[in-house]
Homo-oligomer: A and B are copies of this chain.
């Protein structure tokens, strides 16, 4: 339990890297993410480098080593398993589970994780729609992509969200968009990429490009023009 700060650094690097794969993960990014200051992060990066969990230089930023990646994915695994357990077994709401799972993910008992993973039926995805890595740190396959990459006419199903803030989740609730909902992209505004969507019950909603980037979907038709 004393190593939970280290776990949080590794998880942060993982999350920042997967959030935007094009940019490097800078000390400033990590500091912002963990609500710390850059010198603090820099210091810790030095320690993580020495431990062989991370590589760092100012041009490439921080990168997880294979060992660091394994640790990070294990935490992600625990987090998502707990989220699912809280949601499915203990009837917490979608927006409540994250904060509690942030704590539970650091509880060190493989047997406990195995047990609750069994109870929830060993799913590949958590209630947010995020993939649950296996023990070896491998992610299950899927064709998930951001809704923002859809083209006009695409019919797709909501698999998850990339942002888990209450603000965002409540925003989706207001738009009446839920996990597994099917959406049709009616129009894409060519000026600001705002999407006009219609959902199953023929409600039509407008969604900003910013929000659409955070929604993970999969095309319903296997030969959909979206790639």
A84 smallest CB distance to B (angstroms): 15
- Chain A contact surface mostly: helix
Asked, given contacts A1-B4, A4-B1, whether A109 binds B100 with beta carbons under 8 Å apart, the answer is yes
Given known A1-B4, A4-B1, contact A103–B109 (CB-CB < 8 A): yes
Task: Please report the C-alpha to C-alpha distance between residue A149 and residue B107 in the assembled complex, in whole angstroms.
Answer: 39
Binary B-proximity of A95-125 (CB < 8 A = 1, otherwise 0): 0100110011011110110011001000000
CB-CB under 8 A for A104 and B107, given A90-B112, A91-B115: yes
**Once the chains bind, are B115 and A107 in contact (CB under 8 Å)?**
no
- Taking a contact as CB atoms under 8 Å apart, the answer to whether B116 and A90 are in contact is yes
Contact A115 B103 (CB under 8 A): no
At the interface, yes or no: A92 with Cβ under 8 Å from chain B?
yes
Choose from B4, B107, B119 the contact partner of A100 (Cβ within 8 Å). B107
A129–chain B nearest beta-carbon distance, Å:
23
Chain A residues with a Cβ under 8 A of chain B: 1, 4, 86, 90-92, 96, 99-100, 103-104, 106-109, 111-112, 115-116, 119
- Report 5 cross-chain contacts, Cβ distance below 8 Å, ordered by A residue: A1-B103, A86-B112, A100-B107, A103-B109, A104-B104
